[in-house]
Amino acid sequence: MRFHCKKCKFPAKLKSETNLCDAICPKCKHPLNLSEDERMFGAYELIQALGSGGFGTVFKVRESCERSLYTLKLIRKSRVSKAEKVHLLRQVHSSRRLQHSNVVASHDFGEQEEYWYLISDYVDGLPLDRWAQKVSPEPMRSLELCAQIGDVLDYIHQQRFVHRDLKPGNIIVDRNGEPHIIDFGLCKSEEDSDLMAIERYRAARRAIRSKKTIAENSMLGTLGYAAPEQLSGSALSANPRSDIYALGVILYELITGKRPAMGLGRLFNGFAVSAMLRRSKVPPSTAKQLRNLCLQAFSPKDTKRHANAGVFSNECRALLGSTKRSDA
């Protein structure tokens, strides 16, 4: 959403974390002095710009009568294809069926003026990447967090959903250090035959246009976190283990500060984790198991990964337990 500067008339796009009350024009640096009316979107008062991603801008908002906080995702209709509208609808649709305190619920989807909008619960915290920069977690703290994320994934998978876009920007760590999964726009459900049919139709149409195969055109997710099966062929059949892959990458990144180098393979990535764990003074036997857990989770072949997210979390907890015992 753009607000016009009253001085230079520049349509100002607000940067993440800008409070609407003290926003300034990025061009002439004059305060935007937005009136209460200008800060309203229907019944919602815009408080802060939280971020803008692939699909539009997300604001922290307050409902005027309830005073509760929510997020509002705003997408200009002229910039949204039918497919992107499907992604938005999907968030509400999946949210109705996923009832978990660590899955952020979406409540309302609609259109107003030139926008599509989506209202979801607000989590007071930081996206995982920014949380990690701020907190610099010890490897064992990262492991604990990933075990919690694994529990939430396990729940999502048991409801027969696959998130398909798990990445640090889609995990918010709240003030108590608990992770919450957001952004179910690419989420797939085994039971969504209507949505899956639309997706197949889109892939087929793009394939005809670009003279490539459906598989080559159906990559969904984010490079760096998307599993090989999402990248190279069968995105339409991405499975729960594709989310485990992303979680493995996240754990590796939390420990080493970098994403695994896929081209360099298991040996190099294993060496990088071990080196970092040695520096953090993790006992050698735990370090070896933690390295193996990480490498197994992002194995290129899905059948080599953990059988399910529950198994991944249990292995994390076994390791956490053994370190606690060796500390005692």
Ligand X SMILES: Nc1ncnc2c1ncn2[C@@H]1O[C@H](COP(=O)(O)OP(=O)(O)O)[C@@H](O)[C@H]1O
Q: Which of 170, 239, 242, 286 binds Mg ion (CB under 5 A)?
A: 170
Contact between 287 and 140 (Cβ < 8 Å): no
| Residue 127 binding ligand X, by CB under 6 A | yes
d(CA 284, CA 48): 45
What is the spatial distance between Cα 286 and Cα 255, in angstroms, rounded to a whole number? Answer: 14
How big is the chain by its Cα radius of gyration, in Å?
A: 21
- Closest CB to Mg ion among residues 1, 104: 104
Among 26, 53, 228, 270, binds ligand X (CB under 6 A): 53
Query: Is there a contact between 218 and 164 (Cβ–Cβ < 8 Å)?
Result: no
Residue 170 as a binder of ligand X (CB under 6 A): the answer is yes
DSSP category for residue 135: H
Residues in contact with ligand X, shown as a per-residue x/- string from 78 to 97 under the rule CB under 6 A: --------------------
Q: Based on the shown chain and the rule CB under 6 A, indicate whether residue 115 belongs to the binding site for ligand X.
A: no
Nearer to ligand X by Cβ, of 79 and 324: the residue is 79
Stretch that binds ligand X, among 52-60, 136-144, 228-236, 237-245 (CB under 6 A): 52-60
Instruction: Please pick, from the candidates 72, 92, 123, 220, the single residue that binds ligand X as defined by CB under 6 A.
Output: 123
Residue 183 as a binder of Mg ion (CB under 5 A): the answer is: yes
Q: Is 51 in the site for Mg ion (CB under 5 A)?
A: no
The size of the chain, in residues, is: 328
Confirm or reject binding of residue 178 to ligand X (CB under 6 A): no
CB of 180 to ligand X, least distance (A): 7
CB of 121 to ligand X, least distance (A): 6
Question: Which option in ligand X, Mg ion, none does residue 233 bind, with CB closer than 5 to 8 A by kind?
Answer: none
Please select the residue that binds ligand X; options are 8, 22, 38, 54, rule is CB under 6 A. 54
Contacts of 175 (CB under 8 A, 6+ apart): 124, 125
Q: How far is the CB of 149 from ligand X (least distance, A)?
A: 15
Contact between 169 and ligand X by CB under 6 A: the answer reads yes
Please select the residue that binds ligand X; options are 23, 46, 58, 276, rule is CB under 6 A. 58
**Residue placing its CB nearer to Mg ion in the complex, 184 or 245:** 184
Reference 99, options 159, 145, 150, 147; nearest CA is 159
- Residue pair 202/214 in contact (Cβ under 8 Å)? The answer is no
Please tell me whether residue 120 binds ligand X under the rule CB under 6 A: yes
**CA-CA distance, 10 to 277, in Å (whole number)?**
50
| Complete DSSP assignment for 18-31 | -BGGG-B-TTT--B
Q: How many Å apart are CA 116 and CA 77, to the nearest integer?
A: 6
CB neighbour list of residue 320: distance below 8 Å, 6 or more residues apart: 140, 143, 144, 147
Angle subtended by helix axes 309-327 and 139-158, to nearest 10: 150
Residue facing ligand X at closest CB distance: 53
Residues that bind ligand X (CB under 6 A): 50-51, 53-55, 58, 71, 73, 104, 120-123, 127, 169-170, 172, 182-183, 185
